[in-house]
Chain A
Amino acid sequence: DTGVSQDPRHKITKRGQNVTFRCDPISEHNRLYWYRQTLGQGPEFLTYFQNEAQLEKSRLLSDRFSAERPKGSFSTLEIQRTEQGDSAMYLCASSLAFTRDRDKYNEQFFGPGTRLTVL
């Protein structure tokens, strides 16, 4: 296991198209997070899963965004009818909840990100 992976690394699309990103977390991690990051900003929380359950979703998240983690392993983030404002880096992170090691609890490991450009 080489860490969190994301695919694709770059995506260029035209406004109005749908796009889907994939995240493969570290295998034993049961939490998976999606973030969006724009230039000059820190990562902005979008949503997170614990196993296959989507537990939290940002109130700022448009209905055009949907995420799934059907088997509690990999996750997909879909953006429908993309807009130019959706251009950003989309980051995925995974972590281990329910561990006795306090230092490892909820330490997030980030993927390399998917850079989306909407023309």
Chain B
Amino acid sequence: AQRVTQPEKLLSVFKGAPVELKCNYSYSGSPELFWYVQYSRQRLQLLLRHISRESIKGFTADLNKGETSFHLKKPFAQEEDSAMYYCALSGRNTGNQFYFGTGTSLTVIP
């Protein structure tokens, strides 16, 4: 069965420190992985997706099929990164359904 696990509900880091938000998944086949972000009082929006291989707002995420992980990383956290982050999975085996993790609330301490 398809599943997305985000083990940390809450994560606090100091400004300028590295940050890593963990995401593990369960999927048979080739998944599409995404990170969505929700800033305070804003709607959910796409941060990045693994096929883009881009760095968005300094964040990167690498799909590791061996470890079935798609961790989100940023070398130097900024206060404006404080938000709720959701990892999501889709693919042909899900019939284009999206499966979201439970989210990680990131707080960057000034």
Contact = CB atoms under 8 A, between A and B. Distances in A.
Interface of A: 31, 33, 35, 40-45, 48, 55-56, 58, 91, 93, 102-103, 106-113
Most chain-A Cβ atoms within 10 A of its Cβ — which of B9, B43, B52, B86?
B43
Interface string B28-64: 0000100000000001111001011010000000000
A91 B98 contact: no
Contacts of A35: 98, 100
Nearest to B87: A42
Interface string B1-21: 000101001000000000000
A43 B43 contact: no
A42 B95 CA distance: 19
Interface of B is mostly: loop
Interface string B68-96: 00000000000000000010101000011
Interface of B: 4, 6, 9, 32, 43-46, 49, 51-52, 54, 86, 88, 90, 95-103
Contact of A112 (B43, B49, B99): B43
Given A42-B86, A102-B51, A48 B96 contact: yes
Contact of A55 (B52, B96, B101): B96
Given A41-B102, A42-B86, A102-B51, A55 B95 contact: yes
B99 A107 contact: no
Given A106-B90, A107-B49, A33 B98 contact: yes
B98 A108 contact: yes
Nearest to B38: A110
B96 A91 contact: no
